[in-house]
Amino acid sequence: MAPFEHVHEHSVRYGDTDQMGVAYYANYLYWFEIARTEWLRARGKTYRELEAEGVVLPVTEAQCRYLKPARYDDRLRLVAWVAELTRVTLRFDYRIERAPGEVIATGFTRHCFLGPEGRPVRIEGALRELLAGG
């Protein structure tokens, strides 16, 4: 079964760009965060609800491949899906498009599941099913 992909539309703001009107490279990681937050919301759960349940998802690794520049006022499609899920880690993959099919960046973030004491916890049951996203 194909993973659940969620698309969130986002415009490049003036403050996201440098003097040449090109998006600053670190903003792509911020856009990845927006994409995964909206992916979760589309699945019926918010980060705030996860945290209230005692689970946090810190980023342990991030990678971005820049293919084409995003520019001021571009309308972007932030696409996210869960590419890998273990009992204690999660990997989101991302694709940023300027238009359907015009990919300007790809990447991933890896997360671990931590409980209230900051120790790794195993994810099972309803949360695991939600994240499996099929």
**What is the per-residue pLDDT across 97-114, written as a single tens digit (0 to 9) for each?**
998 889 999 999 999 999
Average pLDDT, the chain: 94
The active-site residue, picked from 18, 73, 74, 93, is: 18
The residue extents of the domains of the chain are 6-132
Q: Which fold has domain 6-132?
A: Thiol Ester Dehydrase; Chain A (3.10.129)
- Asked if residue 10 has pLDDT above 70, the reply is yes
The verdict on whether 18 is a catalytic residue reads yes
Q: How far apart are CA 92 and CA 60, in angstroms?
A: 12
Read off the pLDDT band of 15 (50, 70, 90). Answer: very high
